[in-house]
Structure 1
Amino acid sequence: MPWPGAGAMGFADPARDLFGSFLWFDMIAGAARPRDLVPAMLTQDGASLPLWCRSRAGALVPVAGLNSPYTLVFRPGGHDPSAVARHLMGQVRGVVRLDALDPDDPAIAALERAAAAHGLAVSRFDHFSNWFMPVDGDFERWLSGRPGALRNTIRRRMRAAGTLRFRCFGFGAASPGDGPEPEPVDLDQAVAQFDAVYDRSWKPAEPFAGINARIMRGLAGAGLLRAGILADDDGPIAAQYWAISGGRAYLLKLAHVEGVVARSPGTVLTALMIRSILAADTVDHLDFGRGDDRYKRDWVSRHRTMAGLLLINPRSAAGLAMLARERLGALRRARRRRGQTTGVPS
Structure 2
Amino acid sequence: MNSEYHDNFQSAQAVAGKKLDRAVQKSLFDRLNWVRNLHKYCVSDHQPVIFRSSEGEAEAWMYLMKTGIGKYEGLANWYNFTFRPVFTGDFDEVTKLALLAAIAKEARGSAHKITLSPMPEEDQSTSLTQRAFEQAGWIAFRSKADDNHVLAVKGRTFDSYWAERPGQLRNTVRRKAKKNLVSTRIENQFTEEHWKDYLHVYANSWKPEEGSPEFLKTLAKQESDAGCLRLGLAYIEGQPVAAQLWTVENGEALIHKLAHLEDATKSSPGTLLTAAMFQHVIDVDHVDLVDFGTGNDPYKRDWMDTVRTRYRLEMYWPNNPMAWFPILKQYLSGLVRRRTSH
Q: Give the TM-score of the pair, scaled to structure 2.
A: 0.86
- Alpha-carbon offset, residue 55 of structure 1: 7.9
Q: What secondary structure does 2:165 align onto?
A: coil
Alignment check: 8 A CA contact 1:146 1:298 kept: yes
Tell me the residue number matched to 1:119: 137
- Percent of aligned positions that are identical: 28
Q: What secondary structure does 1:123 align onto?
A: strand
Amino acid at match of 1:238: A
Partners of 2:156 and 2:47 in 1: CA distance? 41
* TM superposition outliers: structure 1 runs of 4+ over 3 Å: 44-47
Tell me the residue number matched to 2:62: 49
Tell me the residue number matched to 1:344: none
Alignment check: 8 A CA contact 1:6 1:40 kept: no
Partners of 2:245 and 2:211 in 1: CA distance? 18
Partners of 1:194 and 1:90 in 2: CA distance? 46
Amino acid at match of 2:80: T
Alignment check: 8 A CA contact 1:85 1:111 kept: no
Residues 44 and 285 (structure 1), Cα distance of their counterparts in 2 relative to 1, 3 Å cut? closer
Partners of 2:178 and 2:146 in 1: CA distance? 36
Tell me the residue number matched to 1:195: 199
- Alpha-carbon offset, residue 104 of structure 1: 2.5
Alignment coverage as a number of residue pairs: 317
Residues 12 and 127 (structure 1), Cα distance of their counterparts in 2 relative to 1, 3 Å cut? farther
Partners of 1:75 and 1:335 in 2: CA distance? 32
Partners of 2:137 and 2:312 in 1: CA distance? 19
Tell me the residue number matched to 1:231: 235
Out of 8-17 and 260-269, give the one that drifted further: 8-17
Partners of 2:215 and 2:43 in 1: CA distance? 10
Tell me the residue number matched to 2:90: none
Q: Give the TM-score of the pair, scaled to structure 1.
A: 0.85
Alignment check: 8 A CA contact 2:49 2:65 kept: yes
In structure 2, which of residues 290, 297, 303 is the aligned counterpart of residue 299 of structure 1?
303
Partners of 1:221 and 1:83 in 2: CA distance? 37
Determine if the alignment matches structure 1 residue 269 to structure 2 residue 282. Answer: no
Amino acid at match of 2:65: W
Partners of 2:75 and 2:324 in 1: CA distance? 24
Alignment check: 8 A CA contact 1:38 1:55 kept: no
Alignment check: 8 A CA contact 1:133 1:287 kept: yes
Q: Which runs of 5+ in 1 are unaligned?
A: 171-184, 339-346
- Alpha-carbon offset, residue 196 of structure 1: 0.8
- Alpha-carbon offset, residue 137 of structure 1: 4.9
1:52-131 matches, cutoff 5 A: 52-54=65-67, 63-78=72-87, 80-92=99-111, 94-131=112-149
Residues 113 and 303 (structure 1), Cα distance of their counterparts in 2 relative to 1, 3 Å cut? same
Q: Which runs of 5+ in 2 are unaligned?
A: 1-5, 88-95
Partners of 2:156 and 2:110 in 1: CA distance? 47
Partners of 1:52 and 1:83 in 2: CA distance? 18
Task: Report the aligned-residue RMSD.
Answer: 2.0
Tell me the residue number matched to 2:11: 5
Amino acid at match of 1:331: L
Alignment check: 8 A CA contact 1:81 1:107 kept: no
Alignment check: 8 A CA contact 1:190 1:228 kept: no
Amino acid at match of 1:157: K
| Deviation digits for residues 76-104 of structure 1 (CA, Å, limit 9, x no counterpart) | 32172222222122231x21101111122
Amino acid at match of 2:81: L
Tell me the residue number matched to 2:183: 165
1:127-276 matches, cutoff 5 A: 127-135=145-153, 136-160=155-179, 162-170=180-188, 186-276=190-280
Out of 72-81 and 320-329, give the one that drifted further: 72-81
Residues 3 and 168 (structure 1), Cα distance of their counterparts in 2 relative to 1, 3 Å cut? same
- Alpha-carbon offset, residue 13 of structure 1: 2.7
Partners of 1:129 and 1:194 in 2: CA distance? 26
- Alpha-carbon offset, residue 138 of structure 1: 1.0
Alignment check: 8 A CA contact 2:60 2:100 kept: yes
Tell me the residue number matched to 1:181: none
Alignment check: 8 A CA contact 2:126 2:311 kept: no
